[in-house]
């Protein structure tokens, strides 16, 4: 997709994979974002990786935001982290905490 990638060894054991500036959406949530921001639908789709019912939306390219506010705030709320035993998203942590 043309993104620059940096890899860091953080020793963040609870979250061994942190998809920096990448949001996690289920298909229905993703469809809702596309409908709400129809004028940006193509940009959102161009920055999306699809895996089954999961949509990973990249919203920064290193330090450059790929969307403007208020759209940029939507994926920020859903930053994706992965734990090999338990899938964890910042959203779920907020709901449980």
Contact in structure between 37 and 69 (CB atoms under 8 Å): no
Average pLDDT for 69-83: 81
Contact in structure between 54 and 25 (CB atoms under 8 Å): yes
The neighbour count for residue 10, using CB atoms within 10 Å, is 9
Half-sphere exposure of 14 (CA within 13 A, CB side): 4
Which residue in 42, 41, 39, 79 sits closest to 59, CA to CA?
79
Whether the pLDDT of residue 46 is over 80: the answer is yes
Residue 5 in 3-state DSSP?
A: coil
- pLDDT tier at 21, thresholds 50, 70, 90: confident
């Amino acid at each position: 997709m043309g993104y620059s990638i940096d890899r860091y060894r953080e020793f963040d054991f609870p979250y061994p994979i942190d998809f920096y500036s990448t949001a996690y959406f289920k298909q229905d949530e993703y469809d809702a974002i596309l409908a709400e921001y129809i004028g940006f639908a193509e940009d959102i789709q161009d920055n999306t990786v699809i895996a089954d019912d999961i949509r990973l939306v990249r919203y920064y390219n290193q330090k450059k935001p790929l969307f403007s506010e208020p759209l940029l705030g939507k994926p920020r709320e859903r930053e994706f982290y992965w734990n090999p035993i338990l899938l964890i998203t910042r959203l779920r942590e907020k709901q449980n905490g």
